[in-house]
Amino acid sequence: MAKSTPPGQAAQAAATGFNSTDSGPANDPAGGKKEGEGVAKAAAVGKMAAAMPHNPNKQAEHGRDKALTPPEGASVQPPSRDATGSTLAEKNHTEKYGKPAAPGVNAAGGSLERVRADPEGQPLTTNQGVRVSDNQNSLKAGLRGAALLKDFVLREKITHFDHERIPERVVHARGSGAHGYFECYEPLSSLTQASLFAEAGKITPVFVRFSTVAGERGSKDTARDVRGFAVKFYTDEGNWDLVGNNMPVFFIQDAMKFPDLVHAVKPEPHHAMPQAASAHDTYWDFVSLMPESTHMLMWQMSDRAIPRSFRMMQGFGVHTFRFVNAQGESTFVKFHWNPKLGTHSLVWDEAVKISGADPDYNRRDLWEAIESGAYPEWELCVQAFTEEQAEAFSFDVLDATKIVPEELVPLQPVGRMVLNRNPDNFFAETEQVAFCAAHVVPGIDFTNDPLLAGRIHSYVDTQITRLGGPNFHELPINAPLAPVQNNQRDGMHRQAIHRGRSSYEPNSLGGGCPHQAGTQGFVSFPEPIHADEVRGKPEKFAEHYNQAALFYNSQTEAEQRHIAAAFRFELSKVTVPAVRRRVVSMLRNASEELAAEVAQGLGMELPEAMPRALAKTPKPEVEVSPALSLTARQGDAGIQSRQVAVLVADGVDGAAVWDATHALQEQGAVVRLVGPHIGAVTPREGPAIDADASLENHPGVLFDGVIVPGGPDAAKRLAADPKAREFLTDQFLHSKTIWASRDAEALLRQAGITAQDEELPGIFVTAKGGSKALQNFVSALGHHRHFERERPAA
C-alpha cells in the first residue's frame, strides 16, 4: 500500500518543472536560489501573487460617492526584480539590447535601453501621461445612464486596441527570435574589410529570427516547410542582414518567378486551403513545370523540413556573395551556420501530432532553452573561392538551386554565434524586426545571382507596407549601433528630430555636413560588364538534376525512406493525377529508385522520364557528399536541454524517480515528472511526488526520451491508462530512447513493444536501476533517434 504525504508536508517537485511555460507543479517551490534561478523566480512570483488574494478596491467601483473619489490602485512590492521581469536572461547584455530597464523608468541611440519600460510602483496613465483615476468604468450620465462621448480615456484605450495589429509578412509570417552576439575567431583581412571579421575575439551584437515560410502568423511550428534563418548583425559600420534559410538552395533561379512560387504554395485562392502546407494541387502543379525546383524538393521532402528545434538546424546564406578586402580584391563566398547541438529532426507522424499538442513547439523550445541558460550556439563557416574556380565547376555558382559541395570547397570556421537573451516583448522586437537582403556593410557585396537581385528590392518594399512607411529603420529593434547621418526626412512615424536647416548635399548652410564618406564608405565592387541587355539564363542553369541526385544519394537509408514517404504523402493530397505523373516523371531524372517507390505508393504506373532542358548532361564533380546527411553533425553537447519524461503514478518507486531525475538534471537534461494528473502522486515510499505535467497535457511526442521507473502498483495503473500506452507507442514508433523497469512489462506489451523489441537499439528494460543502466540511457539519448528500429512500410 502506498504511503500518503503527512498533513502539512508539501509534495516534492522536480526543479526543472518550474521552468516550464505551459504546465507546472501544484505547489510553490520550497527551495531558493540554490535550486536554480527558475525556482527562485517561481518562489518570488508565488509570494507576490499570494500577497494580493483579492482586489481590495472592488467595492469602491460602485455607487456615486465612490465614483467621484476613486481610490489609488492596489500594488505589491516585488520580492525581487526577477518577479516582474520578462526573462531571466535579462542579466545578459550587449551594446545593442543593453541592461534591464530601471525600476519605474520608461527611457525613450541604437541601444534598446532607451525604450525599455517598467511600470513598477507607477500609477496607470493615458498615452499622454495623464493619470487614470478609474480603469473599471466608462464615464456615464448617471450610474445607469448613457456612456458619454467626452470620455477620452475610454476612447483612447479602445481606439489603440482596435489598431494593435499590423499586416503580417507575406512569407515568413510565423517567426521566433532572440538576441545574442557573434564572436570572430581570427582576422579575415586577406578576404574582407568587414569590421566584424577584423580581429580575434571581436564581439558584434545580433538579433536572429527563425520562421516557417508558407504559413500565416498563427500557424503551427511543425509544418513541413523551409525554415527562415535571418541574422541581423549590429556592426560598428552599420547593420548587415544575412537573410537565409535552413536549406542552402531554393526553388527558382530568377526573382521573376518568386510571386508565382508564393502564389502556388499559399492556400488556394478559391477556398483558402490548406494552411501552412504544400500538399495541394497548385503547388505541385507549379513546381512540376519548373524542373529547376527538383533539387530543392529533395531538401523540402527530407527531414530538414521538420527540424526538432531551431537550435538543431543549419542555416545558409543560399546565394553566392562577395567578400571584398581593403585592396579592392573580390572573392566569392557562401555562408553556413552549423549548430553546436548537431542537426536533428522530427519524423512526420510526430510532427503532425505535435502540431495538435503544442503548435508553439519550436518557439517554446527556443524560449525555454535560453531561460534555463542552455544558450544555443552556431559556428559560422564560409566557403571562399575565386571566380576562376567557379568558372571551372560543372554548375553555375550564381544559380540559387545549386550548392558548392564541401568536397570542392571545404568549410572554413570564422566565428561563433550565441543566443543568450529572450526578447522582452514579442511584438516590439520579433514582429517589428525588419530584415533586408540589401543591408550589407563594407567588405560584403553582391554577385549577379538573379534571385538575389530581386530580393534586394523586395525586402525594402515589403517592410514599407508592413511597418507603415519608410522609417522602419528607426524602430528600436532595427536601429543600428553605428551613427546614422543623412538627409532622409519626414515620412510616417519619423522619430529623429534633426537640428539645422539644410536637408540636402552639397550644402554650405550646414557646414557641408553630412558629407559623403569617399573611400571610407561602402564602395561597390567594380565588376566589369560586357554584355547585351537580354531576358534569359546562362547555359549552365539548364542542368536541373545532378545535385538533386547528389542530395538523395548522400542520405542514409532511413533518410531516403523518409523522403519517399514525404513525396507519397504530399502527392496523395493532389487531386489531379496528371500533376502526380508529372512530378514522378521529374524524379526519374534524379533517382529511378525514388521515382519507383513513390509511384508504387501512389498506385500508379511509372511514367516516362521528363525531357531534360540540357541535351548533354555534364558529369558532376561529386556524386556522394556525406556532409549532406543530418547524421553528419550529431553535435557535442551530450543530452543538454533534451526533454525527458519520467512517468509516475501512485505506488511508483520514489527513490528510482529521484535518482534518475537528479542525475539527468546534472547533465543538463530537462526532466518532467508526468503523471495521470498534475499534483501529488504517492510513491511506494518517501514524500509525495509533485507531477508537473500529465499524460493528458504532455503526450509522448513532446519528449526526446522516457523513463518508466519501478513499482508494481504504479506499473499496473499506467498499463490501465490508454494515454500511457499511447505515450510509449509513440516513443517507440518515433525511434526514441526508452528505459523501463521490468515491472512495466505489461505496459510495454500493450504499447506494441515485444520481447524481441527489447533487444533493439535505444530500448532498455531492467529489473532494477543503477548507474550502469542510467549511463546506457544517457548514451542512447545523446544519439537523438534510433532509426534502425524503423519498420519500413509494407
SS3 683: coil
Beta bridge partners of 253: none
Give yes or no for residue 106 having a pLDDT over 60.
Answer: no
Distance, CA of 496 to CA of 493 (rounded, Å): 10
Q: What is the pLDDT of residue 84?
A: 77
Q: What is the pLDDT of residue 376?
A: 98
Q: From residue 645, give the alpha-carbon distance in Å to each of 325, 642, 691.
A: 52, 10, 11
Q: What is the pLDDT of residue 504?
A: 81
Domain chopping of the chain, boundaries? 175-284+318-474, 643-789
pLDDT digits 0-9 by tens, 468-519:
999 999 899 999 999 888 888 999 988 888 877 788 888 777 777 888 888 8
Q: From residue 73, give the alpha-carbon distance in Å to each of 53, 142, 151, 156.
A: 15, 23, 20, 20
Q: What is the pLDDT of residue 86?
A: 83
Q: What is the pLDDT of residue 784?
A: 94
Decide: 576 and 285 in contact? Cβ < 8 Å: yes
Give yes or no for residue 112 having a pLDDT over 80.
Answer: yes
Q: What is the pLDDT of residue 9?
A: 66
Give yes or no for residue 3 having a pLDDT over 60.
Answer: no
Looking at per-residue pLDDT, the higher value among 530 and 707 belongs to: 707
337-351, 496-510, 549-563: segment of lowest average pLDDT: 496-510
Q: Which cell goes with 310? A: 531551431
pLDDT-above-70 percentage for the chain: 97
Decide: 390 and 331 in contact? Cβ < 8 Å: no
Annotated binding site for heme, which residues?
169, 209, 258, 455, 459, 466
pLDDT digits 0-9 by tens, 127-183:
999 999 999 999 999 999 999 999 999 999 999 999 999 999 999 999 999 999 999
Annotated binding site, which residues?
169, 209, 258, 455, 459, 466
pLDDT digits 0-9 by tens, 290-305:
999 999 999 999 999 9
| Residue 98 binned pLDDT confidence (cut-offs 50, 70, 90) | confident
| Three-class DSSP labels, 226-268 | CEEEEEEEEEECEEEEEEEECCCCCCCCCHHHHHHHHHHHCCE
pLDDT digits 0-9 by tens, 718-731:
999 999 999 999 99
- Report the pLDDT averaged over residues 31-43: 79
Closest by CA position to 446, among listed 357, 337, 317: 317
Give yes or no for residue 96 having a pLDDT over 80.
Answer: no
| Residue 108 binned pLDDT confidence (cut-offs 50, 70, 90) | very low
pLDDT-above-90 percentage for the chain: 76
Classified by CATH at the fold level, domain 175-284+318-474 comes out as Catalase HpII,  Chain A, domain 1 (2.40.180)
- The DSSP result for 445-496, as a single string, is E----HHHHHHHHHHHHHHHHHTTSTTGGGSTTT--SS---------TT---
Q: What is the pLDDT of residue 6?
A: 60
List strand residue ranges (DSSP E) for 340-411, in order: 377-385
Distance, CA of 613 to CA of 294 (rounded, Å): 13
CATH of domain 643-789: 3.40.50.880
* Catalytically annotated residues: 172, 245
Q: What is the pLDDT of residue 513?
A: 82
The structure's pTM equals 0.92
| Residue 24 binned pLDDT confidence (cut-offs 50, 70, 90) | confident
Mean pLDDT of the chain: 93
Q: Which cell goes with 547? A: 545535385
Contacting residues for 216 by C-beta, under 8 A, at least 6 apart: 168, 173, 174, 275, 276
342-356, 374-388, 615-629, 780-794: segment of lowest average pLDDT: 780-794
- Report the pLDDT averaged over residues 213-234: 97
* Residue showing cell 541611440: 109
Do 643-789 and 175-284+318-474 fall under one CATH topology?
A: no
